[in-house]
Structure 1
């Protein structure tokens, strides 16, 4: 494709982006439909959206929302990340669940590496769908997501809180046995951002099904 044609097609796609992303988010178009529409423009998807749709897997229960890069601070230390995060950021939250601490959430499948850049990825749960935690873990596995728990959420909030979608609880999963267990439930950490940009750091329950209130989050190795 000639350079002038690439520029023209890129401009055309940019004009359509807002309309189609809105349709994706409200569930009026599926990811499959979106991919089919954009198929002739695969060469420009990387420039417009930051990734190729064929690199993202979803299902009828999930719609891919967005991705962005995040770099773990050079001084990141896993064993005290949550206490340090609470000290520096607790006042920024309307509600902060003190059970989200280093003692309860130290065990994770993947510890973020200091100085490393990851791709942060988010999916919405489609309207009227109630996936189980096991189905969410399957989605994350299919997309080569590294399970980083509460620590992954904290790293993103410190640098890019504006990336959290409004009126959603963005949850960071891990394998069941890695999650803090109390009162008969395994707890999944999540950050809520409301329409007024107020944030809450709280816990959901692995044993329960999930719905459209939640946004599924994870980090992916850029080299994967």
Structure 2
């Protein structure tokens, strides 16, 4: 039985290993995360929303003063937001409209690469917020907030292999849910809802049945590449 067939069968018999299909509401609480309301998921709106999201991050990093966006070079850097984004997703909130009726509000939530943004801020000569500031408190909160990541696990040849891989993740205290998204060859792509940053989860997998092959792969839409250790 192929891995694709295994996943199809698991999807039919229940959600024990493939957990919820609906994405939870996500809010931009992290220091390197921005959230912008949009009307659609079009490419044009996404480009502009990413710029606004990066502007939010720059403001948070430099103490919360929007005036920093008028500094030389900042506008051009923000215009290149796509070069700094690590991942993005869309979130839906139900809000009350002016007429009192519930209305669905769509927003783009973008998480930016911490190292790249730090270098950007430094290159522009912008000082970061001092320790003990609101920005530092936001970062501390980010270490415990729920975040969504996408990983690929290779080396799966049977239902038993799949169960071992997902079991290693589901037993980890940082993992809130695991959802299989796509099977290809001997691997499967998983959507993880975890507590805190991805690197902390990857570090915690040391000694488990999963090994980390690449924590920052050059693969669009995949945040980490792992493989199943042979028994």
Q: Normalised by the size of structure 2, how large is the TM-score?
A: 0.24
Would you tell me which structure has more strand in proportion to its own residues?
A: 2
Q: Normalised by the size of structure 1, how large is the TM-score?
A: 0.24
Structure of larger gyration radius? 2
